[in-house]
Structure 1
Amino acid sequence: MKIIEYTFKNEMALHARPTTILISEANKFKSDIIIEKDNMTINAKSLISVLSLLIEKGDTIKIKIDGPDEDKAADAIKEILKNIEE
């Protein structure tokens, strides 16, 4: 299992466009990918679920990736998170 912890520094945080990119990338992998925020756990492959977290600047999320391609999935998600902040 891979775990990524990430704190959003950008004012836009995880709004609709980067959320769509994140979900699209997550769906490329067989691994289970979940996001945790404030005691909520959701499927990172679901747009409605991710948007329901209402992620804002300063929020920290934990992404857990478990499965046969977890290394590649973790690398891809880290890259997306990095690009969100640019």
Structure 2
Amino acid sequence: MSKQIIYYVLLATGIIVIVTGSFIFFDNYGDTTISGIASQVLGIILLFSGIVNIFVGVTVSRQGIHRTEGDIHHSGDMHP
């Protein structure tokens, strides 16, 4: 896979997870039942997961993906 494809997949996944987490959190905001509180916690977890996903995507785009010696040996490619 190309580095750009990986970056855009991570970015899109992060944005979708953040939007989903925000929707779940605010849809159940103020609900004091067990399921409401569980949904709010799930929304917060999804928000943080989306932020981490975007952070990983930005890190991958800045540093690039480096192949290890084992990957080079198994692929038959002699040029890293």
TM-score (norm 2): 0.31
Q: Which has the higher helix share?
A: 2
Q: Which has the higher strand share?
A: 1
